[in-house]
Structure 1
Amino acid sequence: MSTLRNRTTVLAAATTAVLALALTACDGDDSGTKSASPASGNSAAASSPETPKDTSAANTDTAKGSGTTGGSTTGGSGTAGGSGTAGGDTSDSYAYKHPCKSGDLSVRVYPREGSATQQVIEVNNVGANSCGLSYFPRVSLGAANASDHSSDIQPTVPGGLGGAPAYPVKPKTAAIAVIDLNPSGANGLTWINEMNVLADDDHMPNAETQNFELGPDVKVLDPKLGLYRSTVAEAVSSMKQAGTS
């Protein structure tokens, strides 16, 4: 009987010890889980601000990549100039070696303000690079409906020309020439109603001549044409030298 009690006591003690160990293990798991959760949360919080930074960096890189591609595409038209972002080569030396092309020019003809007989010929460079023109445009005056233009009138121009190999025109600027259809103001030819302009007689074919209608009351007599200049005033001064050497 005593032995049985001892065994019972031993079993109870063993059971108690096992329960105690189990409870200790459970407390350890709970403690570990609780301590792990804050660490995990802090880790997420620490990495959370970096996530937008990484995303921003990726977006920036992507934007830069597309910008570079766009720059290359945009710069393609200015490749010849070799200056990309500057919009092309704007030097006079480049213009001397690269004659203007019709596709890079816009030509206008309009009456000069304050004069009844003078017309302004304005040749704008709409290209990306500087280009070179002949010293003055080739101009002839005739009838729009004429089948034969051999009798068209050509103006006199200044003589004694020399110097640079071409007249340079920078991008977004104009070369201006002025023609006086009737410098003396006397009675002149009344059948002329059209002005024909070739911006560069040295390098452009006749087919690129442009035609401009003149007013109905135009009288042409001994017309004079000046050289290309950067302003109307300078072009007028050059025109007055036409016919002189």
Structure 2
Amino acid sequence: MSKTRTRTLFSFAALALGATAIIGGAGTSSAASGNSDSDSYAYSHACTSNQLSVQVIRHSEDSGQRVIEVRNLGGNACGLSYYPLVSIGDPNAADHSHDIKPLVPGGLGGAPAYPLHAGQAAYAVIDLDPTGKAGPTVPQGTELNVLAHSDMPNAETLNFPLGSNARVLNPKLGLYENNINDAISSMEQADVQS
């Protein structure tokens, strides 16, 4: 059975506003019993590609920051990993072992997953150059590779062009949060290699 993925491509001018990829159609299954939009339901039901849309937007206050928005299009809550799996590299490379991976916050604990309720969004922020000291821009065509949930197969990774003038040095990625300001605060705490 083949999966279909829809991806909307934008011109470079539109990249500044963001790009969206809908991984699959909205999930329509319902729970046999219990509240299917609760945290406890999310903890035991991982998000699938069929119920998510992923969008990457350049943060207007800092051109080096990108906001990753993951929205639950389904009717039930689902669980995400604490943060998306992210790398930066050439999408045409045969070997992705040299892709750049960001630092993430360490010392994680607590709930077994980030609960994403029906119709809601989770936000994670990546700062491509938190030092502000990056050298030349990355090669044209370099992309931000995003896997919304760590248990999804690598084939579900979505690629978003970084655009021209992007600079990358010691990037930092925060945890999923329910608003962008908290996602930025989380990113600032990143201290462990992902």
Shorter-chain TM-score range? 0.7 to 0.9
Give CA deviations for 1:75-103 in whole Å, capped at 9, x if unaligned: xx4432647xxxx7210000000000001
1:128 corresponds to 2:79: no
| Unmatched runs of 5 consecutive residues or more in structure 1 | 1-76
Q: Which aligned pairs between 1:176-187 and structure 2 lie closer than 5 A? A: 176-187=123-134
1:164 corresponds to 2:111: yes
Number of the residue aligned with 2:60: 113
Give CA deviations for 1:15-50 in whole Å, capped at 9, x if unaligned: xxxxxxxxxxxxxxxxxxxxxxxxxxxxxxxxxxxx
Shift of residue 116, structure 1, vs aligned partner: 1.4
Matches of 2:113 and 2:171, distance apart in 1: 24
Matches of 1:90 and 1:106, distance apart in 2: 18
Give CA deviations for 1:43-62 in whole Å, capped at 9, x if unaligned: xxxxxxxxxxxxxxxxxxxx
**Equivalent of residue 216 in structure 1, options 145, 164, 167:** 164
Counterpart amino acid of residue 199 in structure 1: A
Larger helix share, 1 or 2: 1
Counterpart amino acid of residue 175 in structure 2: L
Number of the residue aligned with 1:231: 179
Matches of 2:67 and 2:168, distance apart in 1: 15
**Equivalent of residue 96 in structure 1, options 18, 40, 43:** 43
Number of the residue aligned with 2:190: 242
Larger strand share, 1 or 2: 2
1:198 corresponds to 2:147: yes
Change in 2 beyond 3 A, CA 1:168/1:81: farther
Shift of residue 113, structure 1, vs aligned partner: 1.4
Normalising by the residue count of structure 2, what TM-score does the alignment of the two structures yield? Answer: 0.80
Pair member with larger Rg: 1
Aligned residue pairs, count: 164
Counterpart amino acid of residue 198 in structure 1: L
1:153 corresponds to 2:84: no
Name the stretch that deviates more: 90-99 or 147-156: 147-156
Alignment RMSD, CA only? Answer: 1.8
Which of 1 and 2 has higher RCO (CA within 8 Å, sep 6+)?
2
Q: Which stretches of structure 1, 4 residues or more, deviate above 4 A after TM superposition?
A: none
SS at match of 1:80: coil
Give CA deviations for 1:110-142 in whole Å, capped at 9, x if unaligned: 101111100000000000100000000000000
Shift of residue 212, structure 1, vs aligned partner: 0.7
Matches of 1:144 and 1:110, distance apart in 2: 19
Asked whether the equivalents of residues 142 and 149 of structure 1 are also in contact (C-alpha less than 8 Å), the reply is yes
Matches of 1:131 and 1:186, distance apart in 2: 39
Counterpart amino acid of residue 223 in structure 1: P
Change in 2 beyond 3 A, CA 1:174/1:81: farther
Give CA deviations for 1:157-182 in whole Å, capped at 9, x if unaligned: 00000000000000111110000000
Matches of 2:147 and 2:138, distance apart in 1: 23
Shift of residue 146, structure 1, vs aligned partner: 2.0
Counterpart amino acid of residue 133 in structure 1: L
| Unmatched runs of 5 consecutive residues or more in structure 2 | 1-27
